[in-house]
Amino acid sequence: MTEFTATKTGAVTGGVRLLLRAEGAALFLGPTLFYALADAPWGLYVLLFFVPDLGLLGYLLGPRLGAIIYNALHATIGPLLLALAGVLTVEPLAGAISLIWLAHIGFDRMLGFGLKYAEGFGFTHLGRIGRRKHAKPVATETLDPLPTETAA
């Protein structure tokens, strides 16, 4: 993917992409380690780890709504707000669930599954995914910087 294509699709490339995937690995390993240190039940971890992926069902409603639902469940703001609520209410279960949720997000990012664009599931901020990830993007707008004049 060229820098021009990356700019047009909003996807990162090269070293920045690798850095974001490494960050995903850290986001997976860190919360998982804290979960272990908290002596929280591993059955809960296994049970809830893939729950955010239920957001994929949003794609049954179309790519735009699917991306909104998926991104709502795969942005770090949700689990961070849950952790904050757990601290404010002194509810340890909220902290455990937020760690599982953060670990899931990190796991997905480590594997290259980024936040989605409305164009479809395969269009992510970490680059294209799926069987057609190497296909040339379809132009959706004119690249001509100079408008043509029309006769009055």
CB-count burial class (<10 Å; 0-12, 13-18, 19+) for 29: middle
Helix axes 92-110, 77-89, angle to 10 degrees: 160
**Backbone dihedral angles phi then psi of residue 12, each to the nearest 5 degrees:** -85, 160
Q: What is the pLDDT of residues 114-127, one digit of tens each?
A: 999 998 888 888 88
Select the more confidently predicted residue: 106 or 140: 106
Domain ranges of the chain: 10-128
pLDDT of residue 140: 42
Q: What is the pLDDT of residues 64-109, one digit of tens each?
A: 999 999 999 999 999 999 999 999 999 999 999 999 999 999 999 9
With a cut of 50, say whether residue 141 has pLDDT above it: no
pLDDT of residue 147: 42
Q: What is the pLDDT of residues 46-66, one digit of tens each?
A: 999 999 999 999 999 999 999
- The arithmetic mean of pLDDT across residues 35-50, rounded, is 97
With a cut of 80, say whether residue 150 has pLDDT above it: no
pLDDT of residue 132: 60
Percent of the chain residues topping a pLDDT of 90: 66
pLDDT of residue 62: 95
DSSP one-letter string for the chain: --HHHHHHHT---HHHHHHHHHHHHHHHHHHHHHHHHTT--HHHHHHHTTGGGGGGGGGGG-HHHHHHHHHHHHSTHHHHHHHHHHHHHT-HHHHHHHHHHHHHHHHHHHTT--PEETTEEEEETTEE-STTTTSPPPP-S---SSPPP---
With a cut of 60, say whether residue 146 has pLDDT above it: no
